[in-house]
Amino acid sequence: MVKRFIAGAVCPRCAAMDKIRAWTNEQGKQVRDCVACGFNEALNDPPAPELPANRMEVRKQQDQAAKAAVKEQPIKFYKLPKRDPKPDS
């Protein structure tokens, strides 16, 4: 079993270019995977849902998902107690 990279191939999940490998498994099925995101697919299976081809759209979707995952926390400010001024020596 020899895994070979496919030149110019774009991953349908993460849209990374030149990260797709292809090979034939023990059952004789053609398999491909992405070394960047872990995507794995047997080519006899129905095609995976694809992300937009534009990498900027993919970045925007990832940024929106990251912003949605951030939880806001309130910041509390406390007043410091007043200090007595230092006596002049």
DSSP 22-40: EEE-TTS-EEEEETTT--E
Does the model's pTM come out above 0.85?
A: no
User: Residue 46: what pLDDT?
Assistant: 57
Question: What is the per-residue pLDDT across 41-77, written as a single tens digit (0 to 9) for each?
Answer: 888 755 566 666 677 777 888 888 888 777 777 888 8
Asked, for residue 13, whether it belongs to a domain, the answer is: yes
Asked, for residue 63, whether it belongs to a domain, the answer is: no
Domain that holds residue 9: 1-47
Domain total of the chain: 1
Ramachandran assignment for 18, one of left (phi > 0), alpha (psi -120 to 50 degrees), beta (any other)? left
Rounded to 5 degrees, φ, ψ at 22 are -135, 145
Asked, for residue 84, whether it belongs to a domain, the answer is: no
User: Residue 51: what pLDDT?
Assistant: 60
Asked, for residue 34, whether it belongs to a domain, the answer is: yes
3-state secondary structure of 41: strand
CB 4 within 8 A of CB 23: yes
Asked, for residue 33, whether it belongs to a domain, the answer is: yes
Question: What is the per-residue pLDDT across 30-43, written as a single tens digit (0 to 9) for each?
Answer: 899 999 999 998 88
Asked, for residue 81, whether it belongs to a domain, the answer is: no
User: Residue 69: what pLDDT?
Assistant: 78
Asked, for residue 36, whether it belongs to a domain, the answer is: yes
